[in-house]
Chain A
C-alpha cells in the first residue's frame, strides 16, 4: 500500500463524518474573515437564531475597502464605513478577535495570518476569499469559500466538501537571477491552464520549491486558484518551522517542539500516490509578464506574443478576445510597451521580501515622467519593517508613492483605481477585464521587481538588465 499525501492526512484528521451526500463534513481549524464577505453571513446566522460555535477559531481584519491614503474614521466612503462598522459590531457581539487599524496588526488577511503565526501546518483553513490558497505554503489545506459557507463555518466550524484529487508539481533545477516565485507560478499556470486545476489540490515540490523562502512559497500558493486549483500547498520543512518559531500565535517552549513533531508528520510520505504528476524545469523559467485577460496568458519578457493562428484551437478565441481588449500586437515582445501605472502590493506580492526586491530596483533610478507608481505594504507589520529598513524613503526619493496597508489596486474596492484604458504593471494576481477599477483598464501581471523596473523605464522592461 502506498503512503499518504499531506492532503489526505489533513483531510482525514479533520473529518467529522461522511455525509449521506457522499461529501465530507470537514472541521475547519482556522477561519479568517474580512469586511466584504462576512456581513451577510452574520445576518443569515441571526436569521437562523444560531450562534458562532467556536469564536476563538475565527479571526478578523479589514483589508479590501480600506483606503491607503487616509484611514481615519469615519472613512470618507460611506459604504466602506458601513462595512467597517458592521465588522466591528459583528465581531464584538460574537467574541471574535478583530485586527483593526488601531491594533498594529491590520493588513491583508493572507499576509497577517502567516506573519502572526495563526497559519500553521496541518490545519484546515477557510476564508471568504479565493486567495485563501495562500496559506497552503505552510502545509495547510486552505481554500476560499462563499458567504453562505462563511455562515456554515461560523455556525458549525465545518463545511460540506468533496475531497479534491492531488496533483504533484515538481519544479526542478534552480532559478536564474531576476527570476522570482511569481515567475514560477505564472509558468505553472501557463503550462497547466487556468482551468487545469479544477477538482485538484496542487502539491508544489522539487528543488526550486524547497529552496524558496516562506514568503516566496506564499506567492506560489496564492495563485493556485488562478490555475483553477482551489488549494495548493508545500510540505512543511525546516524553512516552515524556522519561520513559525517566535510568532505571536505559534506555540512556545516545549509545546513548540511537540508541534514541530506533528507538523513534520503531516508532510506527504515519500511513496504517496498522486492522481497526476507534472514536472517543470526551473532553469528554463524567465521573468514573465501576462499579455491577456487571464493569468494563463503570459510570456517571458523577451518572448514575442503568440500569433492566434499558432495557438491550439481552444485558446485561439480567448487570445483574440484578449488582443482586442488589451490593444497589444501579436508577434511582438512586450518589452518597451509603455505603461501608465505601476502597482506594487497585494496578497500575492505585498510582503517585506517583495518590497526589498522592488527597492533594489528603485535605488537604480527614478520613476519615468507621466507614470504613477504606488507601493502598498501588505500589512502594518510589513510597513513597520520596511520603515526600519528605510524602504519608504528609497521609494519616495525614486518617485513612488508610499501608502498605508490594504488590498488597494489589486481589486480597486477602495479609492485606488485605474482610469479609462490605463495600462498597469502590477504585482497582483488577476488581469481580468476591469479588475483594477476601470471597466476598460488593462493589467500586466509580473513580479514586484519587474514592476519597479517598468516604473523606472516607463515601459515593460527586463529586470535582469537593471539588477
Chain B
C-alpha cells in the first residue's frame, strides 16, 4: 500500500486556458528517454519560451506553489504519463480545475496526485483570489471534497473510486490488483479467445 492522501495544503499557481494538451505540458521531444528523470525542468517548455518569462510557471509570485489551478479539459491528448510526471517533478502535488481529460486524471491518480473539479464560477473566484494574493494558503481536501482559500470554501468533485483509492492509499494499483491471486487466471480461462476458441470452451 502507498500512503493515504487526504489533503494537500500549500500555495497555488494560476494557469488559465482550456483544452491544454499533454503535448504542451511536455513536448514530445522530451519523451526520448528510458526514465522520467529530469522531466521537471521541461514542463511547458515551449509555452514558456514563447511567453518570454510571462508564463505562470515562471512567475515569481507563484514560486514554490504545489497546487496547480487549471481550466477545462486539462491534460487532453496523448496518454504520456511524462506530462503529470513533469508537473510532479516541478513540485505540484494536486490539481484543481474545471475538468480533466480521462487518461491524464488516471495517470495522476496512479502517481497520488488528486485532481479536483470545481464549478466554473467557483474556479473563477478561486483563480482571481489566488492571482490577487498568491501567498495565501490553499487547502485541497480530498476527504471533504472541498477547496479552501482566503475567500471561502468551495465544494469540489472527484470520482468516488479515485477518492477512495487516494484515501485508502490504494492508488499505487499493482498490489491491489494482485490481491486476488488465481482469480485473474480463472477470469482469463472463461474468455473463449484466451484459449484459442477450443472446442471444449463451448
Considering the chains assembled together, what is the distance between the CA atoms of A22 and B167 in angstroms?
A: 13
Quick check: A251 and B180 within 8 Å, CB to CB?
Answer: no
Quick check: B111 and A148 within 8 Å, CB to CB?
Answer: yes
Quick check: A158 and B184 within 8 Å, CB to CB?
Answer: yes
**A1-51 with Cβ < 8 A to chain B:** 13-17, 19-23, 25, 27, 29, 36-37, 39-40, 43, 48, 50
Q: Is A53 an interface residue when CB atoms closer than 8 A count as contact? A: yes
Considering the chains assembled together, what is the distance between the CA atoms of A374 and B107 in angstroms?
A: 34
Quick check: A228 and B197 within 8 Å, CB to CB?
Answer: no
Residues of B within 8 A of A14 (CB): 187, 191
Contact (A21, B73) CB under 8 Å given A258-B197, A434-B27: no
Residues of A within 8 A of B165 (CB): 21, 23, 160
Q: Is B31 an interface residue when CB atoms closer than 8 A count as contact? A: yes
Q: Is A168 an interface residue when CB atoms closer than 8 A count as contact? A: no
Q: How far is the CB of A210 from chain B (nearest CB, A)?
A: 24
Q: What's the interface size class on B, roughly?
A: 35 or more
Q: How far is the CB of B151 from chain A (nearest CB, A)?
A: 24
Quick check: A130 and B35 within 8 Å, CB to CB?
Answer: no
Quick check: B19 and A128 within 8 Å, CB to CB?
Answer: no
Residues of B within 8 A of A314 (CB): 18, 72
Considering the chains assembled together, what is the distance between the CA atoms of A152 and B17 in angstroms?
A: 33
Considering the chains assembled together, what is the distance between the CA atoms of A155 and B181 in angstroms?
A: 11
Q: Which of A75-83, A102-110, A349-357, A395-403 contacts B (4 or more CB under 8 A)?
A: A75-83
Q: Which of A193-201, A212-220, A298-306, A362-370 contacts B (4 or more CB under 8 A)?
A: A193-201
Q: Is A86 an interface residue when CB atoms closer than 8 A count as contact? A: yes
Interface string of B28-60 (1 = CB under 8 A from A): 110111111000000000110110000000000
Quick check: A23 and B29 within 8 Å, CB to CB?
Answer: no
Quick check: A413 and B28 within 8 Å, CB to CB?
Answer: yes
Quick check: A194 and B73 within 8 Å, CB to CB?
Answer: yes
Contact (A16, B184) CB under 8 Å given A22-B164, A145-B103: yes
Contact (A228, B34) CB under 8 Å given A17-B180, A160-B165, A413-B29: no
Quick check: B191 and A13 within 8 Å, CB to CB?
Answer: yes
- Identify which of A20, A156, A321 contacts B168 (C-beta below 8 A): A20
Q: Is A178 an interface residue when CB atoms closer than 8 A count as contact? A: no
Considering the chains assembled together, what is the distance between the CA atoms of A36 and B80 in angstroms?
A: 9
Quick check: B46 and A433 within 8 Å, CB to CB?
Answer: yes
- Identify which of A77, A195, A254, A435 contacts B76 (C-beta below 8 A): A195
Q: Is A172 an interface residue when CB atoms closer than 8 A count as contact? A: no
**B71-110 with Cβ < 8 A to chain A:** 72-73, 76-82, 84, 99, 101-103, 106-107, 110
Q: Is A99 an interface residue when CB atoms closer than 8 A count as contact? A: no
Residues of B within 8 A of A20 (CB): 164, 168, 170
Residues of A within 8 A of B102 (CB): 198-199, 228, 230
Q: Is B177 an interface residue when CB atoms closer than 8 A count as contact? A: yes
Which chain B residue shows the least CB distance to A435? B23
Considering the chains assembled together, what is the distance between the CA atoms of A144 and B101 in angstroms?
A: 12
Quick check: B101 and A16 within 8 Å, CB to CB?
Answer: no
Which chain B residue shows the least CB distance to A122? B193
Q: Is B152 an interface residue when CB atoms closer than 8 A count as contact? A: no
Quick check: A413 and B32 within 8 Å, CB to CB?
Answer: yes
Quick check: B99 and A198 within 8 Å, CB to CB?
Answer: yes
Q: How far is the CB of A49 from chain B (nearest CB, A)?
A: 11
Since A16-B183, A29-B191, A147-B82 are in contact, a sample of 11 more A-B pairs with Cβ atoms closer than 8 Å, ordered by chain A residue number, is: A19-B161, A37-B80, A129-B79, A146-B80, A149-B106, A152-B110, A152-B177, A160-B161, A432-B23, A433-B23, A433-B47
Q: Which residues of A contact B (CB under 8 A)?
A: 13-17, 19-23, 25, 27, 29, 36-37, 39-40, 43, 48, 50, 53-54, 57, 64-65, 77, 79-80, 82-83, 86, 120, 122-123, 128-130, 132, 143-149, 151-152, 155-162, 194-195, 198-199, 225, 228, 230, 251, 254-256, 258-259, 262, 294, 314, 317-318, 321, 411-413, 430, 432-435, 437, 439-440
6 A-B contacts, Cβ less than 8 Å apart?
A: A27-B188, A77-B32, A160-B173, A160-B176, A194-B76, A294-B19
The 7 A-B residue pairs with the shortest CB-CB distance in the complex, in nearest-first order = A146-B81, A148-B110, A146-B107, A439-B46, A21-B164, A39-B34, A144-B79
